[in-house]
Structure 1
């Protein structure tokens, strides 16, 4: 691989770092576990792994990114009592890996548009909370990311889905 080609890969990794940091900024602002550095590193690493995968002509490297990020995401999700936390953070990390692979595949416009959509989607959390608060009886609270709720005695109120 020539020096010029390596610089082109570096620019792609740099774009992955920037887009990951852009998404991570929203997570950092909201006080979630995986912020600017985590999202930037995941997206940049996925870009680099994807570029290596393309250079070697071996899709197994890129496939390994998907499996590895799934493993990391599973470690992010944790349960405390009846509450589950980290699902959205894990999904965001998985999306950052997908963005990195898209950048490695030179799908720059797609990656940029998806990064913007991810931030917009993550910014909908207050809307989701508002809808959830009005869809459950009083005394119920949000405890599971993704729209499920729990609270009170297990025999009272609507079932947790």
Structure 2
């Protein structure tokens, strides 16, 4: 009985426990940066939402890696890791649609919804260990959210009150 319980909680992951923690907390930090920008702008999906999206996406990626390792025998199991990307993107698209509002002829929340999608992508890339892609995506996402807003304001495209 004790041996069964011990084996249940032993590290069976295709990555070491250190890498596992690094990937999960890395997703939280990188997606938290995206969420912080949204939080500063007082948008509905801020730090916690983006961190949770990144956490979920990285966990789904790690689970998929484990499934490929455990059940990846091509003779007995047909696995398609691309389904992971499809499932995460459609799930986050559902959440993002919830923050998009059409009121008085104006659409609001599109950028926040898009930032949620970016957080999911960052979480997935961290979960499978593609750190360079995740870091570049985070930096690029912040540049798009922050720098382009500044350019829009400078060009008079958007006012100071616009998110």
For residues 47 and 55 of structure 1, the distance between their equivalents in structure 2, rounded to whole angstroms, comes to 12
Aligned to 1:51: 62
Q: TM-score, normalised by structure 1?
A: 0.76
8 Å CA contact 1:51–1:104 kept in 2: the answer is: yes
Aligned to 2:127: 104
For residues 76 and 32 of structure 1, the distance between their equivalents in structure 2, rounded to whole angstroms, comes to 9
- Give the drift of 1:6: 4.1
- Give the drift of 1:7: 4.1
Give CA deviations for 1:50-104 in whole Å, capped at 9, x if unaligned. 1111221242334211110111111111100200000000000001101111111
Q: Return closer, same or farther for 1:65/1:133 CA change in 2, 3 Å cut-off.
A: closer
SS across alignment from 1:79: strand
Corresponding residue to 2:106 among 83, 88, 106: 83
1:131-146 pair list within 5 angstroms: 131-133=155-157
- Give the drift of 1:23: 1.2
More RCO (CA 8 Å, sep 6+): 2
1:108-119 pair list within 5 angstroms: 108-119=131-142
In structure 2, runs of 5+ residues without a counterpart are 1-10, 69-78
Q: TM-score, normalised by structure 2?
A: 0.75
SS across alignment from 2:155: helix
Corresponding residue to 1:2 among 3, 6, 12: 12
SS across alignment from 2:19: helix
Aligned to 2:7: none
8 Å CA contact 1:53–1:62 kept in 2: the answer is: no
1:19-58 pair list within 5 angstroms: 19-57=30-68, 58=79
**Alignment coverage as a number of residue pairs:** 139
In structure 1, runs of 5+ residues without a counterpart are 135-140, 146-161
Superposed CA RMSD: 2.5
Q: Is structure 2 residue 96 aligned with structure 1 residue 73?
A: yes
